[in-house]
Amino acid sequence: MKGIFITAEGPEGAGKTTIIGKIAAYLREAGFPVVLTREPGGIRIAEQIRSIILSPENTEMDARTEALLYAASRRQHLAEKVIPALERGAIVLCDRFIDSSLAYQGYARGIGIEEVYRINQFATNGLLPDLTLYFDVEVETGLGRIAKNQNREVNRLDLEALEFHKKVKEGFQILLRRFPERMYAIDANKDVEYIYETALQKVLDAVRDHFGKNFSG
């Protein structure tokens, strides 16, 4: 595909949305075609699936149902938005993708990383990001940030116990070792300016490698 696929991952409150929003603005200003999107969601059907998964009242949801719903929303989002954008040559920045399923459902829920990877192979047809920025925050710091954010709706996964969120972070550490060629960890405990500069440099390097000498950013 002509475009480049970049994802942002991390535990709750790591600052992914803040930083990739700023990177999208920089790249657009530099003249690149950018699609900024998120999972679960980004298009109508996937947003509908998102509200089912994340509704705090759906406490009886089975772990495998949850994993399948994330995979279903991913499939529709890829088919309808991400793949067409990559085919047009865009830079696609996506807030969460398959690694969230592997860390949350595969590891923290205990389904198994390999099992969740397998169902996602069907959903993605093997598509993986070119670059994944992993925002590495201490769990308590991230949860503290979202607790302070009055504009954010509390969702079903936010309400999980601290132990669950710690397992999510452990899951991401396993993924960093498994996918060192595409996953890049950034210390997300630091201030926004430091994190933004570090993430932007990594994105610009990847964009330069991908698009070659015609790069103008």
Ligand X SMILES: Cc1cn([C@H]2C[C@H](O)[C@@H](COP(=O)(O)O)O2)c(=O)[nH]c1=O
Helix axes 16-29, 192-211, angle to 10 degrees: 50
Q: Of 145-184, which residues contact ligand X (CB under 6 A)?
A: 155, 157
Q: Which of 3, 6, 93, 96 binds ligand X (CB under 6 A)?
A: 96
Interface with ligand X, residue 124, by CB under 6 A:
no
> Is position 212 annotated in a ligand binding site?
no
> Is position 148 annotated in a ligand binding site?
no
**Among 18-26, 101-109, 174-182, 183-191, the segment contacting ligand X (CB under 6 A):** 101-109
> Is position 180 annotated in a ligand binding site?
no
> Is position 17 annotated in a ligand binding site?
yes
Beta bridge partners of 180: none
Q: Of 112-171, which residues contact ligand ATP (CB under 6 A)?
A: 145-146, 149
By C-beta, is 51 or 201 nearer to ligand X?
51
**Among 72-80, 84-92, 190-198, 202-210, the segment contacting ligand ATP (CB under 6 A):** 190-198
Supply the minimum distance, in Å, between the C-beta of residue 138 and ligand X.
17
> Is position 10 annotated in a ligand binding site?
yes
- Residue number with the shortest CB distance to ligand ATP? 15
Interface with ligand X, residue 70, by CB under 6 A:
yes
